A and B are shown apart, each in its own frame.
Chain A
């Protein structure tokens, strides 16, 4: 019996979300007295997979079939079901692939499924996990009453925990052949040179208080200095000032970075729902009554356009003093 982490394969690279899943699987396996394993699908070098051992994964099961790069959720679920035949718990990332694959896998394993959990189970028997519900407005204690369990883990909710073991890599045959892959990719557009919102540890976000899309240079400059991703509120993406992919909030992306800057964002309940998982929130807004200040840890009642250059200078000074 084991706990299995399905590690996102980003063109042969494992990113932070993958190591966080490994850390989580190792901790859960220890709690349940089981072995922690990982599954990697698609081409990846052995040295890369070996890195999972630093986070407590003793065995990596690898099917190098490059068709898994098509992100065909049905095929991936079939492969994981083969790998997880004797598993007690399978944990996936709460990214688009994980959200699409995990429920399918749960059906194949006749397992109960809970998405976007925020940490280890509070109880193993019965199996109870916490997850945010009503988009940040409450926490649900979800109980799974099947033998096998499938969960997705919210990014940045568990963190990295080193626990060095020697990971053995084992090729496995997932049983997927060409006929299992139904999707065909016609075209791919990659965004390069930008920190991805979904995996950023710091996010710099702007709202209507930024007044005009022409003022976004300062947001981008601060983000560059901090190695942060840029984001925006819903009115900003609805106006077309910024692409909809940057919209954070209830109907946009739900994020939980270590640090979130909100410039000129009033903090409608739908916006707060999307960012309330952030560890530290900094708000700058002209209106002292803006609800964003109720969610914020640090705040300035003032003009975002005046404060931004000050922040930029302060960060430059900090970097110099290092």
Chain B
């Protein structure tokens, strides 16, 4: 099976979020970029399966839509263990443009993994949109993946439980926490090898975005916390009922 993992290039989760002066764009100055956390977990799980079962997974490709500065993130995915990468040289204006840029280049893969959302704009659309463009099924809330007797088996979270699900390939899996315990960290050997792994740059097509951000605001400041002592714990519960009307 050929596996493709979509890699989001997002600000480190510790980033203090700032915007430009008129608050129309995210200020990227000084930002550290990382692999979108769920994409990294999907890559980790695909590698675990590839290593545990010879022949189950033939190759792991990683891909993104972004300019040259996002290549470091793809190289990190190669260093973690992906076999090859491709980058479509366009600005990821919205989820639709990203999915539309990717679609013509994703037809050869059996399983495509996408993270449940990106930790920057908290969208969740690239994976399902790409699946729709390719007219393949997609499975949401995937928290487990294995290959059994040559068939892909997924665990997915549903309201109030979980299910084991199979689907014919090609299939899209939308991945959430739980699919791998912890993301794999690249080793020195992996970093050296990543330098010579293929990273293909593909020119973009003309695609128009369907949504945009007109502006941003920081969340309103919260009122100061009302402090109680350990001895006043019961009074706090009373305040929750009488003052906050939360009980």
Chain A contacts to B: CB under 8 angstroms: 8, 10, 71-74, 77, 95-97, 99-104, 106-108, 111-116, 126, 128, 131-146, 182-192, 196, 198-199, 202, 226, 238, 244-245, 247, 250-252, 258-259, 269-270, 273, 276, 279-280, 282-283, 293-303, 306-307, 310-311, 313-315, 317-318
Contact = CB atoms under 8 A, between A and B. Distances in A.
Given A191-B160, A269-B13, A184 B167 contact: yes
Interface in B103-128: 116-117, 119-128
Given A187-B164, A276-B219, A115 B124 contact: yes
Given A72-B137, A196-B160, A238-B182, A306 B123 contact: no
B129 A259 contact: no
23 contacts: A71-B158, A73-B128, A97-B140, A100-B139, A102-B128, A106-B210, A112-B211, A113-B210, A133-B213, A142-B212, A144-B211, A186-B163, A186-B166, A187-B164, A189-B163, A198-B159, A202-B246, A252-B177, A293-B225, A302-B229, A310-B230, A310-B234, A315-B247
B52 to A, nearest CB: 20
Contacts of A276: 219
Contacts of B132: 74, 77, 103-104, 107-108
A100 B136 CA distance: 13
Interface stretch (B59-67, B71-79, B235-243): B235-243
B189 interface: no
Interface of B: 11, 13-17, 19, 26, 37-38, 94-96, 99, 116-117, 119-129, 131-133, 135-141, 143, 153, 156-168, 171, 174, 176-178, 181-182, 209-219, 222-223, 225-230, 232-234, 236-241, 244, 246-247
A113 B237 contact: no
Given A182-B167, A306-B230, A133 B211 contact: no
B211 A139 contact: no
A238 B183 CA distance: 12
B128 A103 contact: yes
B210 A298 contact: no
Contacts of A199: 159
B219 A112 contact: no
Given A104-B129, A141-B213, A300 B174 contact: no
Contact of B214 (A128, A296, A302, A313): A128
Nearest to A196: B160
Contacts of B141: 96, 99-100
Contacts of A259: 240, 244, 246-247
A185 B163 contact: yes
A300 B233 CA distance: 8
A311 B139 CA distance: 42
A140 B213 contact: yes
Contacts of B158: 71, 96-97, 188
A100 B241 contact: no
A127 to B, nearest CB: 9
A145 B211 contact: yes
Contacts of A116: 122, 124
